[in-house]
Structure 1
Amino acid sequence: MGAKVSREDFQWTYTDQPHGDRRKAMLKKYPQIKQLFVTDNHFTYVVAAMVAMQVVMCYLVKDMSWPAAIFWAYVFGGSINHSLTLAIHDISHNTAFGYHHSRWNRYFGMFANLPIGVPMSIGFKKYHIDHHRYLGGDNLDVDLPTEWEGRFFGNSFMKIIWLFLNPLFYVLRPLAVNPKPITTLEIHNLFIQLLFDGWILHMWGVKPVVYLFAGTLLSLGLHPISGHFISEHYMYTQGFETYSYYGSLNLITFNVGYHVEHHDFPAIPSSKLPLMKKIAPDYYDELPFYTSWCKVLWDFVFDPAIGPFARIRRDIDLKGKTKVSESNGAIQNGHQPNGVKQNGISNGHVGNGKICSKGSSNGIANGHMVNGNGHVPMQS
């Protein structure tokens, strides 16, 4: 069954998420960052071309054998569909047409949604706002695995199953943890998606429809691109809760790897995120980062120190502030109730910032890099 996960709970912290204070400090030091708050017109053409390519593939797949159709669904169609989910992520921040045209962004998100096969654009937008506002928030940030997931998928074999079922958890977890009323735009999303799926079925039969659905399911599970789901917030280096990936797959995933940069400034289009690192290197060069999503997935499965529990979690109020009370033995200056100091962020620093060689809860050196002494400027 593989190595059993050593973690038995999340890493609870009693400090606010770091990105708000970083944002204020960076804007003060580098006011030119404001010039990056623009819309990305080129982005819309790229998304339209990807949707068109998937329609062409549906036509080509109709005459393929079933094994060939599934192969291309995983290798090609799945890569495009996963990339389109990341385009929807970008669109959810109104970067396609700007905040003054939010309705245009919502319907463009539905357009990008078409090859994915299932309606998810509007529902994603509804919950993704909470992920930024309540990062790591107990029962508010539905990106966090549930306690049941952490306990049930507790060894290497079960973690493989968890990765494969990841798309299902992303659909069901919000309904279980923080259900919200269905909106009118979600109904529009559903109606438009059904029309598109029905059109593909009518034009070319069931095989192209299976190609689209299979591509989505396979690419969001055990697929090299899906390494970003783990790399973004799973705690491979003790105390850090957001990580960036600086590798070649950013070229086909709308720079989703620049995730620290994205959480610092969610309104900046993905195409401009690499400029953030160039403008403010002192805020990014000393943070741990990744260069291989495949290595991230490998370590997630086989390192017993990493699993669904390897996330920083906090109790947050609806204003986004971390709750601190005497009744929970609240800490001050980064100390836990038992008096042991967290290796988390405290007064702008990360505990010790060290990386162990392998197999340690303090981090992994093989394939994961950290530069400098672990100092994180202006974090809370």
Structure 2
Amino acid sequence: MALQKTVVVSRKAHHLHGATKVTESCQQTTSADDWLWTYQEEPHRSRRQLIIKAHPEVTKLCGPEPLTKYVVALVVLLQFLCAYMLKDTPVLSWRFFLTAYIIGGTANQNLFLAIHEISHNLAFRKPLSNRLLAIFANLPIGIPYSASFRPYHLTHHKSLGVDGLDVDLPTALEAMFLNSVLGKAFFATFQIFFYALRPMAIYRLPFSWIHVLNIVTQVFVDIVFVKTTGWNVLWYFLWSSFLAGSLHPCAGHFIAEHYVFEKTPEPSPKSSPSSILPVETYSYYGILNVVTYNVGLHNEHHDFPAIPWTRLWKLRDIAHEFYEPLPQHKSWAWVIWQFIWDPNVSLWSRVKRDHATTKGRKVGSEWTKEELGQD
């Protein structure tokens, strides 16, 4: 991390009879232009096993949440109503902008996170029903993305921090060119575009029928709105989506979840690589969880992605001794401010794992027999 000593795990690969042997050592570096490399397993799988051993009852919290579909329907209808009410309002007006920022930005961030929740099959038991609900939740966002989001996001869970697989990680190009106050401010303002375009620059998903359905449905609804009410409705959807992923308090979760804000402990002669690794997932327990499907409980979510948003607080209560010692954020708005102005935090402030030596799995996007209801 910038302007402070950090600890990385250096490695040397020795090729012995066609096999690769990896040795680990600790070293100090003052370089700001590198990730926090590690060869340790991501912490969530290990903590999940420990929590289940200590509190086996947490497994009963897993499974779909019926309330999700009703919340999605309510927010989609709210956005349709707001868009219709603004159909004759000039796009370049304070009324349009403030509605898009306060109501639209919050609502579309809620729908982003509804799609996130649905991607884990936590609205219905049948995968196909979840895919269709995600397409419905996508409608006020204006641009089809729910079908692509799911495999990229599930890969993020299966391959947390793995270089070349986890598309939540910034690219080296982003980190180099945006390594300044102005650069970080630009990133925070336009981060929705980085999250939308970065995955395609890292690896492409195979195109499937769910993508076709997502695109056709979205384009059809957009055309119907434009033909019947004018372009303002579509502009409202697009502005709401942009502002939801820009300098909006709820957008702070994008940065808060996995950027390293804690200083890495200085190594001692007795330190091991695992004992000096920084925390790579942060939770937030504030009021904005009410409108964001409790995504702030992010350690809890990564530990148990099969537990829906309504039961994450119960998980934390049961396993409080595992979560209370972990670093946490108090404010997502403050996270954005600190990210921009703190010289010790940058796009380099992410824990990364080498794909060649770290287990990781890419989740496909093909339309399976199970999703078609044939199994």
Give the TM interval when normalised to the shorter protein. Answer: 0.7 to 0.9
Task: Report the counterpart of residue 85 of structure 1 in structure 2.
Answer: 112
Match for residue 81 of structure 2 among 35, 39, 56: 56
* Structure 2 unmatched ranges of 5 or more: 5-30, 265-277, 362-375
- What is the number of residues matched between the two proteins? 318
Match for residue 327 of structure 2 among 278, 288, 305: 288
Task: Report the counterpart of residue 234 of structure 1 in structure 2.
Answer: 259
Contact 1:4 1:156 in 2 (8 A): no
Task: Report the counterpart of residue 157 of structure 2 in structure 1.
Answer: 132
Counterpart residue type for residue 73 of structure 1:
A
Counterpart-to-counterpart distance in 2, 1:161 and 1:242: 23
Counterpart-to-counterpart distance in 2, 1:86 and 1:147: 27
SS in 2 for 1:141: coil
Task: Report the counterpart of residue 146 of structure 2 in structure 1.
Answer: 121
Counterpart-to-counterpart distance in 2, 1:126 and 1:27: 26
Contact 1:58 1:204 in 2 (8 A): no
Offset, 1:64: 2.1
Match for residue 267 of structure 1 among 306, 312, 327: 306
Offset, 1:132: 0.3
Contact 1:7 1:306 in 2 (8 A): no
Offset, 1:158: 1.1
CA pair 4-215 structure 1, distance change in 2 beyond 3 A: farther
Counterpart-to-counterpart distance in 2, 1:214 and 1:168: 13
Counterpart residue type for residue 283 of structure 2:
S
Tell me if 1:306 matches 2:345: yes
Task: Report the counterpart of residue 365 of structure 2 in structure 1.
Answer: none
Task: Report the counterpart of residue 76 of structure 1 in structure 2.
Answer: 103
TM-score by length of 1: 0.81
Counterpart residue type for residue 8 of structure 1:
D
Q: Percent identity?
A: 41
Deviates more, 1:190-199 or 1:63-72: 63-72
Deviates more, 1:129-138 or 1:162-171: 162-171
SS in 2 for 1:313: strand
Offset, 1:63: 2.4
- Give the CA RMSD over aligned residues: 1.7
Counterpart-to-counterpart distance in 2, 1:52 and 1:39: 22
Counterpart-to-counterpart distance in 2, 1:62 and 1:4: 50
Can you list the C-alpha shifts for 1:70-100, whole angstroms capped at 9, x where unaligned? 22111111110111000000000000002xx
Match for residue 297 of structure 1 among 324, 336, 354: 336
Match for residue 183 of structure 2 among 144, 155, 158: 158
Offset, 1:321: 5.7
Offset, 1:21: 1.1
Match for residue 109 of structure 1 among 113, 134, 139: 134
Task: Report the counterpart of residue 221 of structure 2 in structure 1.
Answer: 196
Match for residue 207 of structure 1 among 232, 238, 243: 232
Tell me if 1:277 matches 2:316: yes
Task: Report the counterpart of residue 141 of structure 1 in structure 2.
Answer: 166
Task: Report the counterpart of residue 27 of structure 1 in structure 2.
Answer: 52
Contact 2:162 2:360 in 1 (8 A): no
